[in-house]
Amino acid sequence: MVTKISSGILILLILFLGIKQGLAMVSGKQEMLEMLGKFGFNKTGVMLLGFVLLLSTVLIAIPKTFVIGNFLMGATILLILCFQLANGNLKGAAIEIPFLLLNLLAIYLKHPFGN
């Protein structure tokens, strides 16, 4: 029971963060364009990455596609983390690690409404 409650709270947090970041990318917020512009992303690339993030958020909410959604979101986070490291930005890379761990922990705890 405690595991299901913890998993539910964790999923709500992941969904909130995914929607927040995805919408910021899709709407072309200046800070997102600046951060991802350093990695060679133009406005269209940032929007596409935002759509992928929003898609992964929807997939996480559905029990049958929960793992796929977490994998997709984790891959997006890992992509940004790798770009941060490639640019020598250790602080930026370190900021991404907890978000990646949230998805890994969610996979471990499983969806609360799954089997």
Residues 11, 50: Cα–Cα separation, whole Å: 19
Residues 112, 11: Cα–Cα separation, whole Å: 9
Instruction: Give the pLDDT score at 2.
Output: 87
Instruction: Give the pLDDT score at 84.
Output: 93
Instruction: Give the pLDDT score at 85.
Output: 95
How confident is residue 20, by pLDDT bands cut at 50, 70 and 90?
very high
**In the chain, where are the structural domains located?**
2-109
Instruction: Give the pLDDT score at 112.
Output: 86
Tens-place pLDDT, residues 98-114: 999 999 999 999 988 87
Question: What is the residue-wise DSSP string for the chain?
Answer: -HHHHHHHHHHHHHHHHHHHHHHHHHTT-HHHHHHHHTTT--HHHHHHHHHHHHHHHHHHHSGGGHHHHHHHHHHHHHHHHHHHHHTT-HHHHHHHHHHHHHHHHHHHH--TT--
Find, among 85, 57, 83, the residue nearest to 71 by Cα. 57
Instruction: Give the pLDDT score at 51.
Output: 97
Tokens 């020598």, residue located: 88
Tens-place pLDDT, residues 27-36: 999 999 998 9
Instruction: Give the pLDDT score at 23.
Output: 96
Residue 16 has pLDDT above 80, yes or no: yes
